[in-house]
Amino acid sequence: MLKAGSAEVLIVDDDVELLRQLAFAFVRAGHEVRCAVDGEKALAKFDAAPPDAVVIDLIMPVREGIETIMAMRARRPEAKILAISGGLRRSPETFLNMALRLGADAMLAKPFLPSEAVAAVRRLVGARADDAAA
Amino acid sequence: MTARQRTRHELNNLLGKIMGAAELALDRVRDPAARAELQLMIRCAEKAARLLDRDTAAKAHERA
């Protein structure tokens, strides 16, 4: 059982250095973390033990982020998903906006601080707790 | 994805890691001068990202 305010977070990015930084920040913030380096491995971990939240990059080998988000959303409509990517941040036609339309709950454009990702997930998981209480 | 988009994506990834490394180091460093340097790294990376955005938007405008 996780302590109050903490969440199980699945972080998905093919950049292992970024993955390590994010994992460190989430663990430091009191969350439990699992990592995957592509969409296929992420889906396997997602199916094995659904996390409270997913942080997922959009441009990855093997299985792209958007395709993975759609698969996760189909399996668990209540999943909380934060899409991250390094595309143009202010354009309406970005992969991130596409991810929002196709199933992500929130997006974060790279570059961002690890603390910003932690805060975004905290908002998502808090929103889920509010849904459950309603 | 075009070559320009790929480059932008890679640059944003690199800037993200610079910002991430600096923020994670800030958690461990107490020396005020070292902290100021790390904070400067974050501000510079953020500014570089804004410039990259602006440049990409300008290029898109030129092509339109």
- Closest CA of chain B from A40, distance in Å: 21
Give A14: exposed, middle or buried? Use CB within 10 Å, 0-12, 13-18, 19+: middle
Task: Collect all residues from B whose CB is shorter than 8 A from any CB in A.
Answer: 1, 5, 8-13, 15-21, 23-24, 27, 42, 45-46, 49, 53, 56-57, 60
Are B24 and A25 in contact (CB < 8 Å)?
Answer: yes
Question: Residue holding tokens 């910002």?
Answer: B19
**Phi/psi-derived region of residue A87, left when phi > 0, alpha when psi is between -120 and 50, beta in every other case:** beta
CA B32 from chain center: how many Å? 23
Kindly list the residues from chain A whose CB atom is less than 8 angstroms away from the CB atom of residue B9.
59, 85-87
Q: What are phi and psi of A56, to 5 degrees?
A: -135, 130
pLDDT in tens, A62-103: 888 999 999 999 999 999 999 998 865 555 557 778 888 888
Taking the mean position of all CA atoms in its chain, how far away is CA B19?
7
What pLDDT score does A26 carry?
97
pLDDT 10s digits, A31-66: 999 999 999 999 999 999 999 999 999 888 888 899
